[in-house]
Structure 1
Amino acid sequence: MAARNKRSKTGAGALWRFTHRSIAAMITPTDRQWMQRAIALARSKGSTPADTPIAAIIVIDGRVLAEQVNQTEEHKDATAHAEIMAIRAAGPVHGDMDLRGATLYSTLQPCGMCTMASIWAKVGRIVYGAGRDDVHRMYFEDRHLDTMDFVRDAWRDDLVLEGGCETQLCASLYYRPQDDVPIEEQGNI
């Protein structure tokens, strides 16, 4: 029988896996290649944490459906996160808003909004780089809720969520937990 509500910490780099199924999902060399591409895309947004260089790539069967960066400032839109923008762009390319079987790669652990959008889009797997403990708290909207909470409470039971892919490279894009971030840059606090 499949494991339900399983949340476990495994391996180096604090790899978190959440799934309702008992499968042997792991970060693969291909995942690392896609994440390195996402890191390069994030760096194209800017070279300092103040630029909010977050990137997301959606891939299905080895084909890129969308590549996007955080565009909140450019659009003056608080929902223009990289993951949301990628989901918006992927649907028309895929010909369907149902992204079942796709993997979303994000340089930063998706926030609650982006996680729920991924669930609604039926993304099959989310792989992220830096987690909430690897970066300054300003990147997350809630101090107690975690991406895992949104996934655990969703009706879908087939989403695989994996963190720890190129964690150090991704974390280097953002303010560190101990950094003294200027108050004007702390949008979520």
Structure 2
Amino acid sequence: MSDRKQDKKPNRREFIQKGMRLTLGASLAGVAGFAALKVSADDYVWQLDPFKCVYCGRCADYCVVTPSAVKCVHAYELCGYCDLCGGYLKPDANARSTAAENQLCPTAAIKRKFVEDPYFEYEIDEDLCIGCAKCVEGCTSFGNGSLHLQVRHDLCVNCNECSIARVCPADAFERVPASSPYKIKGDFSQETESSNPA
């Protein structure tokens, strides 16, 4: 009978091991709970609504990331592929050429490629883009608005309170679901929703 009592009585080593397992389990549960909270907090990201944007240039100046996490993107299906592109050429350009003095973009982030007479294709080098919106303003003023700004989520740090959103005069920055983080022009269902708010 005394042997049975000794079998049931845990020794010190087993007691410490069980205690460590319980502590580890509780720690892992806490980390998992914290991770679950982080995932739910990250379900929304900042994005700029291109249908509200007024091309003020504050995206380049106020983003905490340098250069800005806001970049110009091109909705190719809306583009006219014009020789005289208002987003590429300055309004008072001397010629319709790729010379620096004729380009509207201060960092030469827009690349112009000849397709066939009179068509050109315009691509954005996002590494050079600073989010100043000069090309977007030109494209909207003299073209069909195929150039627009978007927050690039591989660059954005998703601040709790976006510093650009605080100073945006058009309230164009908003939290959107991370599952659909971009508001691209050319997606006409979004344009309809933005122009006809419920």
TM-score range, shorter chain: under 0.3
TM-score normalised to structure 1 length: 0.25
Report the TM-score when normalising by structure 2. Answer: 0.24
